[in-house]
Amino acid sequence: MKATIFDIERNSYVDGPGIRTTVFFKGCNLRCVWCHNPESQSPKPQMMFYKNKCTGCGKCKERCPNNLEKCGLCGKCTLYCPHDAREICGKEYTVDEVIREILKDKAFYDNSDGGVTFSGGECMLQIDFLEEILKECKKNGIHTAVDTAGYVQFEYFERILRFTDLFLYDIKCFDSEKHKQYTGVGNESILENLKRLLTTKKSVWIRIPIIPMVNDTEEELQKIKSFLEACQSPKKIELLPYHAMGEHKYEAIGKEVQMFAVPSEEKMMRLKKIFS
């Protein structure tokens, strides 16, 4: 069994408690217009080309079996580009390969109450693999977190509940129409899944990306707050400010980027107060 993964990031401080390794699965069923990992959306490996790094030296073309006209993802061009202008995003991994990477930092997890976080993309879309790897992690005594947008059937949650210590659950915006406008899908099932997940008494951290002009109003966040209060309260609510660091990656995969303003620190402080 294999999964397509586009990054395994060790020593992550931002995806749950303690020191963690975050495994980024490739493929997502949402299309959030602010997504900072646009390369995570397609489920398949893909070539990324950073035009601004390219000097036109032609080393890639020399090595490409198809003269750069068609990409078979062989990766030769990436190995010989002296300027890191080309890379292949996404690689297939077996459960064993991923576990080996994860275990390298076990001592760090153990000492910091950290662990591993499966993220994406939407890691739940590769549920068979996810279930297996979570089991393996638990066998090795590693704390597990699943970072999800929740747009899957609830049965998927049920399959992994036993092996997951923490869910990082995104709420993008409360109004379903707006949700659809900015992510491509309505949020009814997302909120329903969250409600059901919270009744399981599993630890859940809610993560809300703050996107100016989309969901950065007190009114919007109040609605989310009321919804959460009506459910079993989650353990923690994190507001994550929009950042523009994914911009260059849109160009690299040949997609149009939509830019937003970065919320000010004062605004973030004000919005955080709503939940404190």
Residues 216-255: x where in contact with other proteins by CB under 8 A, - otherwise, as a string:
----------------------------------------
Which 103-162 residues touch other proteins, going by CB under 8 A?
104-105, 107-108, 110-112, 114
Instruction: Give the span between the Cα atoms of 254 and 190, in whole angstroms.
Output: 29
CB environment 119-139: b (16+ within 10 A), e (fewer): bbbbbbbbbebbbbbbebbee
Q: Which of 26, 59, 179, 207 binds other proteins (CB under 8 A)?
A: 59
Using the rule CB under 8 A, which residue among 50, 80, 154, 227 binds other proteins?
80
Nearer to other proteins among residue 195 and residue 236 (C-beta): 236
By beta-carbon proximity to other proteins, the closer residue of 114 and 120 is 114
Q: Which residues pair with 204 in a beta bridge?
A: 167
The answer to the question of residue 37 lying near other proteins (CB under 8 A) is no
Residue 256 in tokens? 């149009």
The distance of closest approach from Cβ of residue 122 to other proteins in the complex, given in angstroms and rounded to an integer, is 23
Residue 3 bridge partners (DSSP): 93
| Out of 3, 19, 166, 171, the residue judged to bind other proteins by CB under 8 A | 19
The smaller minimum CB distance to other proteins, of residues 104 and 196, is found at 104
Closest approach, Cβ 79 to other proteins, in A, equals 6
- Asked if residue 91 binds other proteins (CB under 8 A), the reply is no
Q: Shortest Cβ distance from residue 176 to other proteins (Å)?
A: 33
Task: Report how many residues bind other proteins under the rule CB under 8 A.
Answer: 21
Name the residue nearer to other proteins (CB basis): 81 or 191: 81
Q: Is 268 in the site for other proteins (CB under 8 A)?
A: no
Q: Which span (23-31, 72-80, 196-204, 264-272) binds other proteins, by CB under 8 A?
A: 72-80
Listed residue (227, 204, 206, 186) closest to 272, CA to CA: 206
Nearer to other proteins, 135 or 236 (CB): 236
Structure tokens at 104: 């390298």
Buried b (16+ CB within 10 A) or exposed e, 39-63: bbbbbebbbbbbeeeeeeeebbeeb
Binding site for other proteins (CB under 8 A): 9-13, 18-19, 59, 78-82, 104-105, 107-108, 110-112, 114
